C-alpha cells in the first residue's frame, strides 16, 4: 500500500523534498558550492536606499575563512576546493557561489568580468548568485539567461558524469527575501518590500533560470501564526528551492541591541519547539519545493549564547526526520 508521502518520490525515501542529492540527480554527480566574496556591498549600506545594512547582519559570521574580499577569485576558488576536498573526496566539479552581500549590485560590465572569470576555472561548472531582489533588472537577467543557454562563452565546455559535455554553465539565482511581511522588512532595514521580491522572482523564472529564495524564521514582530501563514506566499513564488534559517542574534549588530531592549518582540524557540514548528512549516509547503536548509550555523564566537548547544547540522536533520516519522506527516500534507 502506498503511503501518503511516497507518491511524491522524495529523495532517499524521506518525508520531505531534501536538497541533498539534487545536483547528483540533475547533473549525474555531486556539485559542491565554493563561497566567494567578490567585494560587493548592498544598497542599504551605501546610502542608495539606506545606511547600516540589515539589522541582523554581520557577513563575517556567514562565510568560511577562505572567502575574503582581499583575495582574488582564483585564490578563493583554489583554497575553497582544497577545503572541500578533505570532506568530499570524490567531488570533481564545483559551483562558484557569489554569496557575500549583494552579488548583482554593480554595472553589468563589472558583473560579466567577475562571473566569466569564475567560470574559467577548470573545475567550475557553474555559478550561484546570491543577491537582493532590488538589485536585478531585465538587462542583467537577460545576460544571465544568455549565459545559461550557451550564448555568451563560446568554446566553453565541461564534461559532467550524468549529462556528458556541457557547452553552457549552470546558472542559479538566490534571492534574500527574508520575510513576506512589509512591516518586518521595514523594521530590519531591508530597503525593499515583498512585492519587489515577488517581481524579481517572476522576472528571473520567466527567463528559464533556476531560482532559490532565503527566509529567516523568528524576525522581530512575527508570530508563529504569521510565519506559518507565510507558506502560502512562498508557495505562490515560482522558485525551485528554499533556504530557512532560525534567527540568530549576532554580537555587535543593531538587532542585538533591539533584542536586549524588546525581547518580548522575538519568537525564540527551544530546539524541540523549533523542530516541531518546522514540521508545521513543511506540512504547508509545496511538495515540489526543494528544502536546501532549515537551520543556520553561526560560529559560537559571533553570538552571546548557543541555546541549542553545539549541535551540528547532521544531527538536526536526524531530529527533523525522526519527528516527521513520529507525527506520520510529510511536506505538503496540509495542501
* pLDDT higher than 70, residue 2: no
Asked if residue 133 lies in contact with residue 159, where contact means CB atoms within 8 angstroms, the answer is no
Q: Can you tell me the distance from the alpha carbon of 152 to that of 146, in angstroms, rounded to the nearest whole number?
A: 6
CA distance 116 to 127: 9
**pLDDT band (50, 70, 90) for residue 1:** very low
List pLDDT tens digits, range 42-53.
999 999 999 999
List C-alpha distances in Å: 70 to 117, 125, 300: 16, 24, 24
pLDDT tens for each residue of 3-19: 689 999 999 899 999 99
Query: Roughly how many angstroms between the first and final C-alpha of the chain, as a whole number?
Result: 22
pLDDT in tens, 153-198: 999 999 998 778 999 999 999 999 999 999 999 999 999 999 999 9
Measured CA to CA in angstroms, residue 330 lies from 195, 217, 229, 295 at distances of 29, 20, 17, 18
- The model's confidence at residue 64, banded by pLDDT at 50, 70 and 90, is confident
Chain segment 230-260, per-residue pLDDT in tens: 999 999 999 999 999 999 999 999 999 999 9
Give residue-wise pLDDT tens across range 134-144: 999 999 999 99
CA dihedral 247, 272, 270, 281 (to 10 degrees): 40
Please give the pLDDT value at position 192: 97
* 126, 169 Cβ separation under 8 angstroms: yes
| C-beta neighbour count of 150 within 10 angstroms | 14
Note the pLDDT of residue 317.
96
Dump pLDDT digits (tens) for 190-222: 999 999 999 999 999 999 999 999 999 999 999
69-121 pLDDT, tens digit each: 789 999 999 999 999 988 888 899 999 999 999 999 999 999 999 999 999 99
CA-based max dimension of the chain: 60
Instruction: Name all domains of the chain by residue range, CATH numbers in brackets.
Output: 6-327 (3.20.20)
Judge whether residue 288 has pLDDT over 80: yes
Give the confidence band of 295 by pLDDT, cuts at 50, 70, 90. Answer: very high
Amino acid at each position: 500500500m502506498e503511503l501518503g508521502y511516497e507518491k511524491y518520490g522524495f529523495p532517499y525515501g524521506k518525508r520531505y523534498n531534501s536538497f541533498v542529492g539534487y545536483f547528483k540527480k540533475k547533473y549525474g554527480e555531486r556539485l559542491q558550492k565554493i563561497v566567494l566574496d567578490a567585494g560587493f556591498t548592498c544598497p542599504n549600506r551605501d546610502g542608495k536606499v539606506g545606511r547600516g545594512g540589515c539589522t541582523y547582519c554581520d557577513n563575517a559570521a556567514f562565510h568560511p575563512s577562505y572567502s575574503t574580499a582581499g583575495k582574488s577569485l582564483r585564490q578563493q576558488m583554489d583554497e575553497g576546493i582544497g577545503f572541500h576536498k578533505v570532506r568530499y573526496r570524490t567531488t570533481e566539479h564545483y559551483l562558484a557561489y557569489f554569496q557575500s552581500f549583494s552579488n548583482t549590485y554593480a554595472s553589468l560590465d563589472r558583473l560579466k568580468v567577475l562571473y566569466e572569470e569564475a567560470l574559467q576555472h577548470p573545475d567550475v561548472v557553474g555559478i550561484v548568485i546570491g543577491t537582493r531582489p532590488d538589485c536585478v533588472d531585465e538587462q542583467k537577467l537577460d545576460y544571465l539567461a544568455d549565459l545559461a543557454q550557451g550564448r555568451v562563452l563560446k568554446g566553453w565546455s565541461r564534461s559532467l558524469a550524468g549529462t556528458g559535455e556541457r557547452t553552457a554553465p549552470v546558472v542559479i539565482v538566490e534571492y534574500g527575501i527574508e520575510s513576506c511581511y512589509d512591516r518586518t522588512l521595514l523594521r530590519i532595514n531591508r530597503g525593499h518590500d515583498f512585492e519587489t521580491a515577488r517581481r524579481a522572482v517572476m522576472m528571473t523564472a520567466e527567463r528559464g533560470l533556476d531560482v532559490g529564495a532565503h527566509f529567516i524564521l523568528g524576525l522581530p514582530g512575527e508570530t508563529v501564526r504569521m510565519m506559518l501563514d507565510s507558506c502560502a506566499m512562498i508557495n505562490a513564488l515560482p522558485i525551485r528551492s528554499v533556504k530557512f534559517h532560525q534567527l540568530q542574534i549576532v554580537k555587535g549588530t543593531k538587532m542585538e541591541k533591539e533584542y536586549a531592549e524588546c525581547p518580548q518582540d522575538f519568537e525564540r524557540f527551544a530546539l524541540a519547539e523549533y523542530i516541531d514548528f518546522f514540521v508545521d512549516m513543511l506540512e504547508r509547503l509545496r511538495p515540489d519545493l526543494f528544502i536546501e536548509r532549515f537551520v543556520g550555523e553561526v560560529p559560537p564566537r559571533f553570538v552571546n549564547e548557543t541555546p541549542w548547544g553545539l549541535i551540528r547540522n547532521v544531527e538536526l536533520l536526524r531530529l527533523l526526520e525522526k519527528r516527521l516519522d513520529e507525527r506520520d506527516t510529510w511536506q505538503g500534507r496540509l495542501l
